[in-house]
Amino acid sequence: MDVLFHPETGLIFWSLVSFLLLFVLLKKLAFKPILGMMEKRENKIKESLDEAEKARLEAEKLFNDYQKQIENARKEAQQVVEQGRVAAEGIKKEIIESANKESKRMIESAQHEVTSEKEKIIVELQDKMADLIIDASSKVVQKALNKKDHLGLIKEYTTKLGDVCEG
């Protein structure tokens, strides 16, 4: 224990000389390469951090671009759907108008046919009635009618007239 409280000057001197020599040697040979490696490492880490930041910014930019593209695609899809709906409405209106025109044309045609058939029937009835009247007139002229013959002729011609109207 005495040694700790009473140091020897020779030992201290040589320890100090060894330490300084080692320090100078390390400073000349080891500190520069170690500091150079540490600076290189520091620069490499800074570059990696810068590259990581650039990559993050690039990723954010791409993400924002993709979001814009998706939004544009959605808008375009909505426009296409809207255009399709408008086109379908137009086609629907055209079909309805065409159907209305066709039904009006068919109704007019049917009315024309009914009118034409009605006129034909009226002409036929007039011809038949004229024939019947001529026939009745010729029979009346051929014989002198008494009341009984007169009623018989009326019944006969009304029956013929009824048959013509039904046929």
pLDDT of residue 86: 93
pLDDT of residue 21: 95
Domain for residue 60, yes or no? yes
CA 35 – CA 33 distance, rounded (Å)? 5
Domain for residue 2, yes or no? no
CA 8 – CA 41 distance, rounded (Å)? 44
Domain for residue 45, yes or no? yes
Domain for residue 1, yes or no? no
pLDDT digits (tens, 9 = 90+) for 105-138: 999 999 999 999 888 888 888 778 777 777 777 6
Q: How many domains does the chain have?
A: 1
CA 44 – CA 50 distance, rounded (Å)? 10
Domain residues for the domain of 11 are: 7-166
Over residues 48-65, the mean pLDDT reads: 95
153 and 140 Cβ atoms separated by less than 8 Å: yes
